[in-house]
Structure 1
Amino acid sequence: MGLKRSHAEMSGRSKQDAPADQAQSPYMPMFEAFRAELDEHHARREDIIKASRDITAASKKIIFTLQRIRKLKEPLPAHVVKTNADHYKIIEERFKTVAKHLQGINAYRYARQISGGCQEWMEAVSFQHYLVTGQLLSYEDSRVMLLDVSKDEEGKSIDLGPEDWVLGIYDMTGELMRFSITAMATHGLPTIPPDNTSDPASDSMDVDGRGGSSGQQRSVLTDMRLLRAALEGLDAGSGPFAKDAEKKMDVMRSSVEKVEKSLYGLIVRGAERPKGWMPDTNEGGRAVEVEG
């Protein structure tokens, strides 16, 4: 049985000489540059994913605290502001950390990685804005807010895409549903106090610049119906955004129907309900689980 010879020995080179010869290959620097670029890409991607998860977690805590509020169009209670201050600080720090990674073409390259955090942040700030003002937070105002929150020491910031704004508004309807059903147990359907103005049109929720109906007392349910009508008219086209919008559309419709059903039960059986009665939202309706 003969000895197996290496390729270097067969070509007249020793094993010690082989690495030195390989290092002289004109292709090695090129592939080393590719390796460095890929390592940088994966490290950048991991940083963005971690930041997005932290932003999502902090935003959920903000929403949980906001659900303790029972009155609309009033300043936030001091304990709510104090509790959420730390969560907003975490969000600001995480956005600033990854702002440098989301510049130029990289803003599109890593859009899917940061999208979850942007959507959850959008859900939190739009829900808070609605509780305080009774109005929908516009895309323009949301974009300015994120540009300001995410600006790092070098002046780089993150631009909010219209897709993340829309998907965040979809999710916000679920929080309006929870807010309404919880309030119905003690105070009835939440209504929006009118503004001290002689202009009837100002007492309406502005959706897409059209305003709402001023012929009836505004409530969270009327605003949810207005949002549903506006979002159902959205042409999402095709692609990942269209798939996400379709899923959230079903959840949004289910949220509106749950508030409607709870209000019907409150009106029909209101005189019979015991103290602390909560509307039943588990019967009938769309078989769609509302996201937590």
Structure 2
Amino acid sequence: MSANKNKDADRNRRNRSSKINFGDKGKQVLENIDENNSVIKQFREYSLELDNKHDRYEKIVKFNRDITIESKRIIFLLHAIDKDSKRDKILNDAKIRLDNLTKTLFKNIAMELDGQDQYQYLRAYRGGLQEFIEALTFYHYLDSNKLIHWIDFEDSFTYNIESVKQPDDGDDDDVTFVDKSKTINTLLPPSEYILGVVDLTGELMRKCISDLSTGDITSCFKTCNIVRDMYSAFLGIYGMMGKELNKKIYTLKQSLTKMENVCYTIKIRGSEIPKHMLADVVCVTHDDYNDENESYNEFT
């Protein structure tokens, strides 16, 4: 019996919440609204503008989700290079998929933001942008041992819209056509590029461990030195971009510590441990490592 009463109470509560109750004065105000009033028209325009902004923001969020998923898949594909002899094929497949992201999803974002203040929508796709930068820089590192410059990123996010000829305003008897082609771009702030490159160091740490498992000891030392140089460079801009960069730098320091432990184990104990067991020993060392004196607080 009590259960039925609760159900009836919930139903009545939903019915009340679904109806907006106006007092007599409120109903009178609604009935007497002059739609031709300039103030009312202005607020109608504000409402339409906000609705369009929210719809555009949601579209970009969907693009961002697809970019993030595909970028993660590309990174996973690139890690398979160390386990597969088909290096050129994997690099080529990754390049095609990266170019496809640039020409489709990022171009869609540029078209959505054409004529808009792009900084208002940056938060909607910055996560996917950083993941894409991480994937693309990882590809270039594996392909040419180089770090692609920020300007090259910016150039790849510039698109030329095909010429669309439309009739010029004038008399119908004398129609002239005007070229409506234009250039659009997806916003890429340097700060997002920096954050994406910091994330790259995590993939380099995983590559270092993977190289050890395959017996490529030379690559372990090489990758460790590169990450150490990157860490030193990022310390030069520490504190200039807020807590997000500080947290990533702390994660970078942890990754570098793991890589240095790998190199230390190889250098000191490499001769006494069989190569097929070296990776297992290093992994155990990582699990046992716990620096109690370090925490994120030292970076804040």
TM-score (norm 1): 0.73
Query: Does 2:232 align with 1:220?
Result: no
Task: Provide the C-alpha distance between the structure 1 equivalents of 2:190 and 2:136, rounded to a whole number of angstroms.
Answer: 15
Task: Provide the C-alpha distance between the structure 2 equivalents of 1:29 and 1:242, rounded to a whole number of angstroms.
Answer: 42
Query: Does 2:151 align with 1:123?
Result: no
Task: Provide the C-alpha distance between the structure 2 equivalents of 1:102 and 1:181, rounded to a whole number of angstroms.
Answer: 41
Contact 2:74 2:97 in 1 (8 A): no
Opposite residue 228 of structure 1, the aligned amino acid is Y
Highest Rg: 1 or 2? 2
Opposite residue 226 of structure 1, the aligned amino acid is D
Opposite residue 249 of structure 2, the aligned amino acid is M
Q: Percent identity?
A: 27
Structure 1 residue matching 2:183: 3-state secondary structure: coil
Number of the residue aligned with 1:243: 243
Query: Does 2:237 align with 1:234?
Result: yes
Number of the residue aligned with 1:180: 208
Structure 2 residue matching 1:272: 3-state secondary structure: coil
Structure 2 residue matching 1:135: 3-state secondary structure: coil
Matched pairs, number? 247
Opposite residue 157 of structure 1, the aligned amino acid is N
Contact 2:208 2:219 in 1 (8 A): no
Q: 1:140 to 1:123 in 2, by over 3 A?
A: same
Number of the residue aligned with 1:147: 158
Residue correspondence of structure 1 range 198-217 to structure 2 within 5 A: none
1:170 Cα offset (Å): 0.3
Task: Provide the C-alpha distance between the structure 2 equivalents of 1:8 and 1:86, rounded to a whole number of angstroms.
Answer: 58
Query: Does 2:289 align with 1:284?
Result: yes
Contact 1:48 1:113 in 2 (8 A): yes
More strand by share: 2
Contact 2:238 2:245 in 1 (8 A): no
Q: 1:120 to 1:46 in 2, by over 3 A?
A: same
Number of the residue aligned with 1:215: none
RMSD: 3.2
Question: Please, which runs of 5 or more residues in structure 1 have no aligned partner?
Answer: 193-217
| Higher RCO (CA 8 Å, separation ≥ 6 residues) | 1
Query: Does 2:264 align with 1:264?
Result: yes
Opposite residue 176 of structure 1, the aligned amino acid is L
Alpha-carbon displacement from aligned partner over 1:248-285 (angstroms, at most 9, x marks no partner):
00111111111111222223332324625332122225
Task: Provide the C-alpha distance between the structure 2 equivalents of 1:102 and 1:189, rounded to a whole number of angstroms.
Answer: 47
Structure 2 residue matching 1:43: 3-state secondary structure: helix
Task: Provide the C-alpha distance between the structure 1 equivalents of 2:108 and 2:242, rounded to a whole number of angstroms.
Answer: 30
More displaced, 36-45 or 23-32?
23-32
Structure 1 residue matching 2:157: 3-state secondary structure: helix
Contact 1:174 1:255 in 2 (8 A): yes
Task: Provide the C-alpha distance between the structure 2 equivalents of 1:19 and 1:268, rounded to a whole number of angstroms.
Answer: 86
Task: Provide the C-alpha distance between the structure 2 equivalents of 1:256 and 1:24, rounded to a whole number of angstroms.
Answer: 67
Opposite residue 96 of structure 2, the aligned amino acid is A
TM-score (norm 2): 0.72
More displaced, 104-113 or 31-40?
104-113
Structure 1 residue matching 2:217: 3-state secondary structure: coil
1:114 Cα offset (Å): 1.9
1:8 Cα offset (Å): 9.0
Contact 2:91 2:139 in 1 (8 A): no
Contact 2:238 2:246 in 1 (8 A): no
Q: 1:65 to 1:21 in 2, by over 3 A?
A: closer
1:159 Cα offset (Å): 3.3
Contact 1:147 1:159 in 2 (8 A): no
Q: 1:24 to 1:104 in 2, by over 3 A?
A: closer
More displaced, 78-87 or 132-141?
78-87
Opposite residue 108 of structure 2, the aligned amino acid is T
Query: Does 2:138 align with 1:137?
Result: no
More displaced, 95-104 or 111-120?
95-104
1:178 Cα offset (Å): 0.2
